[in-house]
Amino acid sequence: MDIRQVFPVTVSDDGMTAFMAVAPPPAKEVEKVAVGEVVSYVKEGCKIAEARREVVEELVRLFNEQPEQTRPPEIIAQGRPPVSEKHGEIVWATDFFNPRPVAEQDGSVDFYAVSRVANVSERDLLCAVTPPVAGVPGVNAKGEPLPVGEPKPAAIKAGEGVDFQPDPAGAPAGKYFAARDGRVLWDRQVLAVSPIAFIPGDVDFETGNIDFKGSVDIKRSVLDNFTVKASQDVSVGQWVQAASVEAGGNLVVGAGVAGKDKNVVTVRGDTKVKYLNSAKVRAGGDVSIGAECLASEVVCNGRLRAEKATVTGGTLMVFKGGEVDTLGAPGGTRTDLYLGRNLYAEQEHAAIVKEMKKRRAKVENTLKKIEPYRKELKKLPPEQKKKVAVLLTLVKEEQAQVRDLEERRKEVDKIAGGNLGAKLVVKSTLHAGVAIFMGKETYEVSDSVRGPVTIRYSAEEQRIAVSGA
């Protein structure tokens, strides 16, 4: 009699439970079974080291008493599931980073009006951090270990304007509080609160020019000839006139920019306006225009988001493509579109390369002059040693300048190299008089085209393609 067939052992699909049943053999093969023999079979043959002996003994007893009786499966071994580790978590006091749009009285939603500034007061709770909790390894029905992972602490550091209060049990658990009034920033796992300069009226003679390390919130307008500089965001409630605005973050203007061909708006991030009139705007990110852009120069290293706007006259430099409602005017007003290009970046790249070449030549020439003296430096009189030391200092300064220029060149290269994959969609009308420049190619729109029109570069045909033209 084969006890493996009489006492079949099965294991669940997840490996956590082992069962034993009784399947009667033919009557002529029936013989008494010893418990030790079955236990040995379970341990050695089935690799189940920790079987429940009392269950095995009971099944053997029942078989020996009634060998013709089938017995349903009984659990003879049960694994212990692992308890997973818990990583440290950040529990925010509120949603600082995803403001919801506010519906207008007519039910519409103006996404341009969504504020991206989350203000907090000193000592406000920003978030709590839970500690990592180690898991508990488990075993399956065969006694094989089921490991768990290593718990990780929450990835967060206190930046400027934030105080950390550890839990009594110690870091990394604890709470983060605002150390000053301002705006909550969360970048690369660093939590900070940035101060904001709030101007309750215009930027005018009462305020003077503004140069602020943080964000600037202007309730009304920036008047002619004034300057606003902010290392972070700038928000203007009404107009930017013939003034200069420089934002290290984003720029939001409630009405628009009426530049009178005198202003320069430079934005590292995104720019949102309703109107541009005779304005100069240079944005490192997206440019959103709500209604109209007239006779302006717009440099956009991101996407142009003007799906409801008319762009007439002036120059557009759009690096990543985008969407506009109408481009040009019925009268054939000249409008230049540089798609996937940034002339300023191209010019800066050329200037940087030229300057690097000049400085490297200067370093090389200086080193040649002092090379004979460096070999005999110890024998030189003090006056000559001093001159050599001065020249070596100048060399190090020039080399540092070259390194800085190289870093800037790498940054500019991302734009100066061009983007032939850019596409611009004109929803309503692409008017005659629009000149399109991509790579080394030029396309003059001679007849107006009804939209939607897609402007792109055809690599197969090596030309600018305008759908519908």
Confidence (pLDDT) at 180: 87
**Mean pLDDT value of segment 34-59:** 86
Task: State CA 448 to chain mean position distance.
Answer: 40
Confidence (pLDDT) at 100: 57
Largest interatomic CA distance in the chain: 117
Residue 436 pLDDT class (50, 70, 90 cuts): very high
Confidence (pLDDT) at 417: 77
Whether the predicted pLDDT of 250 surpasses 90: yes
Instruction: Compute the mean pLDDT over every residue in the chain, rounded to the nearest whole number.
Output: 88
Residue 241 pLDDT class (50, 70, 90 cuts): very high
Whether the predicted pLDDT of 110 surpasses 50: no
Q: What is the 3-state secondary structure (H, E, C) of the chain?
A: CCHHHHCCEEECCCCCEEEEEECCCCHHHCCCCCHHHHHHHHHHHCCCCCCCHHHHHHHHHHHHHCCCCCEEEEEEEECECCECCECCCEEECCCCCCCCCCECCCCCECHHHCCCCCEECCCCEEEEECCCECCECEECCCCCEECCCCCCCCCCEECCCEEEEECCCCCCCEEEEECCCEEEEEECCEEEEECEEEECCCECCCCCCEEECCEEEECCCECCCCEEEECCCEEECCEECCCEEEECCCEEECCEEECCCCCEEEECCCEEEEEEECCEEEECCCEEEEEEEEEEEEEECCCEEEEEEEEEEEEEEECCCEEEEEECCCCCCCEEEEECCCHHHHHHHHHHHHHHHHHHHHHHHHHHHHHHHHHCHHHCCHHHHHHHHHHHHHHHHHHHHHHHHHHHHHHHHHHHCCCCCCCEEEEEEECCCEEEEECCEEEECCCCEECCEEEEEECCCCEEEECCC
Whether the predicted pLDDT of 215 surpasses 50: yes
**Mean pLDDT value of segment 184-200:** 86
pLDDT tens sequence across 332-371: 889 999 999 887 888 888 899 899 999 999 999 988 888 8
